[in-house]
Amino acid sequence: MATAASSSVVTLEKKKRTGSFRSCSSSSSSSSKKPCTRCELVGFDSLPEYLKDNEFLLNYYRADWPLKETMLSIFSIHNETLNIWTHLIGFFIFLCITVCAATTIRRHDGAGSSVTEQPVARWPFFAFLAGAMLCLLSSSACHLVSCHSERCAYAMLRLDYAGISTLIVTSFYPLVYYTFLCDPFSRGLYLGLITALGAAAVLASLVPAFQTPGYRPARALLFSLMAASGLVPIAHKVAAFGDRPEAIATAWYELAMGIFYGLGVAAYVARVPERWMPGRFDIVGHSHQLFHVLVIAGAYTHYLAGLEYLKWRDVQGPYCQC
Ligand SMILES: [Zn+2]
């Protein structure tokens, strides 16, 4: 940490000498106490080490901006603008879905009308929606303010990783709870294992090296393995309930979700298309934006699966008959 901080200072001093970087930090030791009113976007080579993540994005970086300017940059154009807005819009989409689901979902009785009998528990379905909203909002906030300082970046990236873990863990809840409604052992086993895995991933993300560019494949592998472990309960579901149309329909949704997430992770790790034309996709079209959009598509597909699970268990009734 100390080495990184001192190298950042050296980098800043070098940029000041060469004139290629204008610091906007209000904590500057300059004799002027007035914070600068206009912050400039800088190139990759001018970044402090903690912000160097993707060398194929060449320009339009914010670096060490004061907090106020950092917050207001949500309304300006830089290479994080679409990263912020893709997940912020995704958050509002899921907020609307949650409100609509809470106010309109009624128990299915198999004939298309609602009934008043106590329905099957809704908490796994809403836990997933809450996990999706937490992930999208923390990601958006992380992209907005991480450029403020190294301390801020460290804290926000932990929040981002915790949000990703929460989305993955809560995605298991509808799948496991509704599929194994009448099998408490399998239900408890799967829910316990994925929750423990999620907690372990959050703890692993506390290691400072976890956020460095060299650990990009390791980060992708950890979260991908967590998500891929969902194949076990899905295979169990198809084997046990292959004759139920809802079980097959939800498995198709889960396959589509896996494809969306898989494509997103592939773009994230490979850093395409910017790798092919560095500098061309700095503002629009780089891999992280594609990753964000594919995450929203995957989460939305899982929401559709959640509706199917509710229909399945409501039609069958809240009481186990198996
Ligand atoms: Zn992101």
pTM score of the predicted model: 0.83
Distance 288 CA to ligand 1 centre (A): 6
Distance 292 CA to ligand 1 centre (A): 6
C-alpha dihedral over 73, 75, 76, 82, to 10 degrees?
100
User: Three-class SS of residue 182?
Assistant: coil
Distance 268 CA to ligand 1 centre (A): 9
Pinpoint the alpha helices (H) of the chain.
2-18, 67-72, 81-104, 123-145, 150-179, 184-204, 216-228, 231-241, 245-270, 287-316
Distance 138 CA to ligand 1 centre (A): 9
Task: Yes or no: say if 63 and 41 are a contact pair by the CB < 8 Å rule.
Answer: no
Closest residue by Cα to residue 120 from 167, 177, 194: 177
**Model pLDDT for residues 250-308, shown as the tens digit of each residue:** 999 999 999 999 999 899 889 999 999 999 999 999 999 999 999 999 999 999 999 99
**Model pLDDT for residues 133-171, shown as the tens digit of each residue:** 999 999 999 999 999 999 999 999 989 989 999 999 999
Which single residue is written with the structure tokens 């294992």?
Answer: 193
| pLDDT at residue 19 tops 60 | no
Binding residues, by number, are 143, 288, 292
| Per-residue pLDDT, 314 | 84
**Model pLDDT for residues 89-142, shown as the tens digit of each residue:** 999 999 999 999 988 866 555 555 454 456 789 999 999 999 999 999 999 999
Share of the chain above pLDDT 70, in %: 82
Distance 258 CA to ligand 1 centre (A): 18
